[in-house]
Amino acid sequence: MSTVTSHRPKRRRAYDRAMPRYARSEREALADLLLDLGPNAPTIDAGWSTRDLAAHLVVRERRPDAAGGILLPPLRRYGEAVRRQVAAGPYPDLVARVRRPPLWSPVSNPLTDELANTLEFFIHHEDVRRAQPGWRPRELPAGLAAALWKRASTLARVALRRFPADLLIQAPGHGERTAGRGGERLRVVGSPGELALFLSGRQRVARVQVDGPAAPANRLRTARLGF
């Protein structure tokens, strides 16, 4: 009697089934790039290597006690000490932890991942890509561009709330948003991904157009933006 062997695919982990498409794709692409470049490649983040960036992401997702230092100055010294400790571990293990966050993570569980990580991992993917020679902007899927515009339009209100100008942020085909504290009028035009980078403080590598008086436009290009 012949026997039939079942070749069912291995069951995917619940996290893999639930993880939203764009957050996951940016995470996977970043992890692949981190491995390809190794631990000592430069990034857009001043003074950070690929190892440093990977450690930052691990702390953000796995060390709630230290992650507060990313945003809160009183906790910054402790958070940086933990990040350095994490960075000292074996690099392949570090990247593996970036690739597969724990289910319990406040920012990376299946319920929060898309909201918390689509923008985060897009930006850090570009932090690595755009620090390498010969980089070019990517053609983004329409769904990812729409998701980035949704987040970038919210980020504009936060990042530019104190900037002394009347700003119009435009993403052709997606929408526009006003921001700023008031003053001379400026217009910032770009695709959702480029605007997300610009508004998160990556102005020098973001391909956007800034229209308006030269003095405030130049201040905007070098202002400290982001959260």
| Residues 103-135: tens digit of each pLDDT | 999 999 989 999 999 999 999 999 999 999 999
- State the pLDDT at residue 4: 35
CB-CB contact of 75 with 68 (8 Å): yes
Q: What are the pLDDT digits (tens) for 150-189?
A: 999 999 999 999 999 999 999 999 999 999 999 999 999 9
- State the pLDDT at residue 214: 97
Residue 71 has pLDDT above 70, yes or no: no
Answer with the residue of higher pLDDT: 50 or 15.
Answer: 50
- State the pLDDT at residue 76: 80
Read off the pTM.
0.87
Least confident of 5-14, 54-63, 109-118: 5-14
Answer with the residue of higher pLDDT: 77 or 11.
Answer: 77
Domain-by-domain residue ranges, the chain? Answer: 22-131, 142-222
Q: What are the pLDDT digits (tens) for 188-198?
A: 999 999 999 99
Give a three-class secondary structure readout of the chain: CCCCCCCCCCCCCHHHHHCCHHHHHHHHHHHHHHHHHCCCCECCCCCCEHHHHHHHHHHHHHCHHHHHHHCCHHHHHHHHHHHHHHHCCCHHHHHHHHHCCCCCCCCCCCCCHHHHHHHHHHHHHHHHHCCCCCCCCCCCCHHHHHHHHHHHHHHHHHHCCCCCCEEEEEECCCEEEEECCCCCEEEEECCHHHHHHHHCCCHHHCCCEEECCHHHHHHHHHCCCCC
Residue 227 has pLDDT above 70, yes or no: no
Residue 51 has pLDDT above 50, yes or no: yes
CATH architecture of 142-222: 2-Layer Sandwich (3.30)
